Amino acid sequence: MNTYVMLFRRNRQQPLAPADELRMKQNIAFWVEQKIDAGHRLVPHSLSTDSHHAGPHSDLVRSDDLIVSGLLFFVADSYEQAVRVADSHPATDFGFNVEMRAWSTPNRAAVAAANAA
């Protein structure tokens, strides 16, 4: 099994109506049950709307209406299976853009050596 992450982006200028928000939560709950039953070990993380941007393109990033609102780590047997999992997420039916990427854990020895310096 390999680890992947989904990044969820939503246009901050287009909030969901309360009824759509409720329907989305219900659809996601059903989807989560299916994926857990299939062995995908889901680890969700919601992100605050507060953010700080540093770097040469921070003005561009700050002006973007598509903000990252959440991360979902999960496992899949292959990249192709991970794509199918990401494509099936119900948030896309409610205006969210879902980006999926392979995830690798940083080398612990390298991180420890860099922090010791």
On whether the pTM is more than 0.85, the answer is no
Q: What CATH number corresponds to the domain at position 30?
A: 3.30.70.1060
pLDDT of residue 117: 67
Q: Quickly state the pLDDT bin for 109 (edges 50, 70, 90).
A: confident
Q: How many CB atoms lie within 10 A of CB 18?
A: 8
User: For residues 98 and 7, is the Cβ–Cβ distance under 8 A?
Assistant: yes
116: phi then psi, degrees, rounded to nearest 5: -80, -20
Q: State the total domains in the chain.
A: 1
Residue pLDDT, tens place only, 5-36? 999 998 878 889 999 999 999 999 999 999 99
CA distance 5 to 44: 9
The label of the residue with tokens 């062995």 reads 39
**Residue 101 is encoded by which pair of tokens?**
């990427």
Residue pLDDT, tens place only, 49-67? 888 888 888 887 777 788 8
Domain of 103?
2-116
CA distance 7 to 74: 12
